[in-house]
Every structure is written in structure tokens, then in C-alpha cells.
Structure 1
Amino acid sequence: ICRDGHLIMAVEQPDPLMAALSSAMPLAFEQLDSTAAPLNQGRTGLVIVDEIVGFAAPGGGNLAPPGPDADVSRMVAETDRLARQFSANGWPILAFLDTHEPGKAEPPYPPHCERGSGEEEFVPELRWLESDSSTRLIRKDCINGFIGAISGKRNLLVDWVLENSLESLLVVGICTDICVMDFVLTILSARNHDMMPGLVDIFVYQSACATYDLPRDVAESLNLPASMSHPKALTQYMGLYFMASRGARLVSAIK
């Protein structure tokens, strides 16, 4: 900030609500080493949730960030790094791609990721996964990938876990508190219900997860109700908290 000819450095003030949340409900993180168990044993599957144009490319659609977003860019970069490592080792990868039939609504959201629009495709950095031999793609038409994987009397996600004898899943993607959280909470219950014998741990990698930002003042300036507000630092934290509270293991770094 320039004032009276002097350059004044603006210091971002800490959010008191975030400070209160982290004090009242602290999160516990661990680190993983890709050269050690469980990652190096081939019994961990990488699950990528909705890292597609309509959610993660700047200006990519109604629900995409309007411009560059450092958190989303970091998520995509970390996902790409992990996916290339998994692919090089022949470890299994599954990617959900949010895909809706044109004109079919998904309340409460505006039209997004409709088939044929291009929004339902991977962001450019991850498009190589479309032809990767280690990757299974599942197009889903709802928030929850576990539900979206239901095909007839089978669940394609459950089949993938069983086919690969997976003992753990490493989950990344967008939005942390919406599609990622719904999937993680459901698969934790499915695990506890013995739908996938052998599946033990669900890891969520914080740095490869992101969510969108809609502060209250912006929501109201768009003539949206205040209840549509979605400040991303708070909602990211809350999503991680609820997943951990149900039994997911939060990861801060993967070497």
C-alpha cells in the first residue's frame, strides 16, 4: 500500500474464527514415505476426485475458480506428482469425473460439468491419465463418488478395491468438504460394513485437496442468500475435521 509517498507492507490479519476452530478442534496429521509401507507395497490405491475443468480450471465453468487459485494449482501439481509415481510403479489409480446429462439438474448447484461441454474432462495437467494403463475412470452423476459408482447391482469402486486387493486408499481432489468428504465418509462406513474385506485405512492428503471460496460479502453481491457463503479456509478445515472424526487419517506430506 502506498501512502504519502511511503510504501507500507500490508500484513494479513489472522482469522479469529480459524484460530478458534483450530484451538477447539485441532487436527492430527502424519507423513507418508512413498518408499516405505504402506505405499511401496502396491496395496494402496490412489483415488482422484473430480480434478476436472469444471471444478479446477480457472474460468472453466460455473463452479470453477474465476481466476488463478494457488490452492487449486497446488492440488493439481501434487496430484500429478503422485499419479506419475503410482503409474510408474504400476500401482492402481482410480479417478472420478463428475459428468451430468445436459439439462439434468443437481440441486442446489447451477448447471456444471455437462457431458460434451468439456467441463467434465480432466484439467490439462492430468489428461495423460485418460490413456494410462494403471488408471480406472469412473464418471459419476452425483456428489458422492461411492454412490455414483453404482452400476446395476454392482459398485465399480468396490470391484476395483477387491480386484487389486487394496489395504488402503489415498484420496485427493476437490472439493474437500463436498465431493471428497462425501466419498470418504461413505467408504469408511462401507469398510466398517465389511463390503471390502482387507481394506483398512483411508488416507486424505491435505496438500492435494482444495475447495472453492465464496465469502459472505461476495455471495450477497451476487444476490445469493447469506447461507450460500463458503469461505474456503474454514470449509477446508471443517471438511478435514469431519473426515478425521469418522476415522480417516490425514496426511500433511508425502516424500
Structure 2
Amino acid sequence: MKYDLKALLKSSEASLTQIVDILNTAPSLMLQSLEASNTAIIIVDMVNGFVKEGPMSSPRIQTIIPAIRELMTQAKEKKLPMLAFADSHNESSIEFATYPPHCLVGTSESKIVDELKEVGGYELVLKGSTNGFLEPAFHNWLKEHPTIEQFIVVGDCTDICVEQFVLTLKTYFTTLNRPSRIIVPINSVETYDLGVHAGDFMNVMALYKMHMNGIEIVREITN
């Protein structure tokens, strides 16, 4: 089967218009409206190798540092648990068959950016694939925080690591028949531009896929 580009663009226009409207009208959310005893902040891959240096870094992702820093500062004051995933690969990682070598163990690329490291207050979990949910250390963290059922997820990349993590997390709680609230603020997630991978379009489609799978998309988290 071959796609007719003109027909596809025409048939998709109305849907894309509605999707953009859904995202543009997303509400903001006050952090203080969330119960501290069951809420956590998850920071995905805000490492130098995606933000500041190396073949996978993007200036687009630098733009979300201030919003994430502010959220972490407020969460730390409210004593909310925070967990930060950091992409970290050995030289033989099979992920390098898909992506160029990046975030090697022990290099500066695998380190959390200084702006967020300065805030601190998070538990660090190294991850060797695009989906941090699969890391045993994350499951240990879940067991150590049995009351947590609300998650604010920020970081990069919206359409890869963030999307995979939130959808798997949501499915996990559904499998257990447990309620969960997973929140993604638009101003605190980002992806990259590279060739056919147009960042704005990829962001929109990833956020909509999360929305249609029960993830709560908000404009921003305010104090």
C-alpha cells in the first residue's frame, strides 16, 4: 500500500486542527492542589548528552531547564519525592544500532545538567534504554514509595523516552487495577529537530497520544 500524500494531508487537516486546539487550551495546574503524600516528580534524561553536548543534544531541550528547575525547587520545599533518570550506556550498547553513540558511562554526557543538579533532592536512576520504567531500580523505588499514585513527568524526549515511560507507567497501574494520575506539563517536555524529525510536529503528536491514553496534559505547573 502506498499513501497518497495530498489525500492524507487533506483528510488529516481537521484532526490536526482539533489536536492543536486540545493542546492550546490545556489548563495549568497548581502544585499545591496535589496531595504531597501521594505525588512524585519524575525527571527524564535531563543530561548533558541530550541538552548541551554530543550528537544527541539539542538546543530545543535547553529551553525547558528553567521550568523544570522551578518545579524541582517548589517540590523540594514541599518535600515531594523526586526521581531523575539519566541515560547511561556502555560502549557495546545495542541501542547504538538505532542512535549514534551517546551518554557513555562515566562521561559528562551521562550527567544531569548543572542547573538541576544544583537543586538536588532527587534519587538518581541510570537507564540503559529509552524506557526508564524497565529499570529494576525504578521498580525498587516504586516499592519504597507505595503511596505514590500521582506523577508529574518532565524532560526529554517527548516522543521517545517520556512517551514510552508514561504510557508504560499508566499501563502498569491499569494492570494492577490501581488508580493513577500521570501529568505531563507541555512547557517542561521537549524533543529535537533533525531531518524528517520535526520537533514541533513530533511534540504535538506525542502529547496527543499521551492524552488519548489517559495521561493528563497541562500547560504548566504553577506554585
Alignment TM class, shorter chain as reference: 0.7 to 0.9
115, 120, 135: which one aligns with 2:122: 135
Report the secondary structure of 1:25's partner residue: helix
Instruction: Say if 2:88 is the partner of 1:102.
Output: no
- Higher alpha-carbon Rg: 1
Contact 2:50 2:61 in 1 (8 A): no
Corresponding residue of 2:40: 45
The aligned amino acid for 1:121 is K
Alpha-carbon offset, residue 41 of structure 1: 3.1
1:6-53 Cα distance to aligned partner (Å, 9 max, x none): xxxxxxxxxx99975531434352221123x21x53421000000000
Report the secondary structure of 1:115's partner residue: coil
Using the alignment, how far apart are the partners of 2:145 and 2:100 within structure 1? 33
Using the alignment, how far apart are the partners of 2:166 and 2:184 within structure 1? 8
Report the secondary structure of 2:197's partner residue: coil
Corresponding residue of 2:187: 207
Instruction: Say if 2:112 is the partner of 1:122.
Output: yes
TM-score when normalising by structure 2: 0.85
* 5+ long unaligned stretches in structure 1: 1-15, 216-228
The aligned amino acid for 2:19 is M
1:100-130 Cα distance to aligned partner (Å, 9 max, x none): 012323131010001022100011211225x
Corresponding residue of 1:239: 206
1:180-207 Cα distance to aligned partner (Å, 9 max, x none): 0000110010010118x4x520000110
Using the alignment, how far apart are the partners of 2:202 and 2:36 within structure 1? 34
Using the alignment, how far apart are the partners of 1:144 and 1:160 within structure 2? 20
Identity %, equivalent residues: 29
Contact 1:75 1:208 in 2 (8 A): yes
Alpha-carbon offset, residue 160 of structure 1: 4.4
Corresponding residue of 2:3: none
Corresponding residue of 2:17: 23
* 5+ long unaligned stretches in structure 2: 1-8
Instruction: Give the helix-richer structure, 1 or 2.
Output: 2
Corresponding residue of 2:143: 159
Moved over 3 A (4+): 16-22
Report the secondary structure of 1:61's partner residue: coil
TM-score when normalising by structure 1: 0.75
Using the alignment, how far apart are the partners of 1:108 and 1:64 within structure 2? 16
Alpha-carbon offset, residue 136 of structure 1: 1.2
69, 79, 91: which one aligns with 2:68: 79
Root-mean-square deviation (CA, aligned residues, Å) is 2.2
Report the secondary structure of 1:155's partner residue: helix
